[in-house]
Structure 1
Amino acid sequence: MCSHQPPCPTADSPQHRGAMIVSAHPEQGWSLLCNGTIVFDDTGELLPDGQVVSPYRNPAALVVAV
């Protein structure tokens, strides 16, 4: 899919989120990468094969001060 030089990481690569954005929709909270991955603002992903990657959370960010 990628025509960039050097080519972007493929969707099955561990570095797949490093691919270039080809279509950004910040008002809807998602972007399409040139490797076919859809990334969401909440860090979730939808891979080209239909696999869903759940959002990841930083445990330190979830600590609420009382």
Structure 2
Amino acid sequence: MCPHSPRCPSPDSPDRDAARVLAHHSEQGWSLLCGGLLLFDDTGELLPDGRPLPPRRPASV
């Protein structure tokens, strides 16, 4: 459970990337967000239950 006020978005919500950063390891290319979500520099994600989410890159014009 998130101890912050207001609460961080859950790892399953669409705005999950807005959760607070608990640990940042730029040398390894990832951050741990509140709620257990791993966010990678390429915008890929790993949910707390181990499911990967592919990178979300902007569409080329």
Equivalence map 1:20-59=2 (5 Å): 20-59=20-59
For residue 32 of structure 2, give the secondary structure of its aligned residue in structure 1. Answer: strand
Q: Give how far 1:57 is off.
A: 2.3
**Structure 2 length as normaliser, TM-score?**
0.92
Counterpart secondary structure, 1:57 = coil
- Deviation of 1:24 after TM superposition, in Å, equals 0.4
Structure of larger gyration radius: 1
Aligned residue number for residue 6 of structure 2: 6
Which residue identity does 1:17 align to in structure 2? D
Secondary structure, aligned partner of 1:17: helix
TM-superposed deviation, 1:35:
1.2
- How large is the Cα RMSD of the aligned pairs? 1.1
Which whole-Å deviations, capped at 9, do the CAs of 1:12-65 have from their partners, x for residues lacking one? 1111110000000011000000111000000000000111001122232xx7xx
The letter of the residue matching 2:8 is C
* Percent pairwise identity: 56
- Number of equivalences: 61
The gaps in structure 1 that reach 5 residues or longer are: none
Structure 2 distance, partners of 1:40, 1:31, is 6
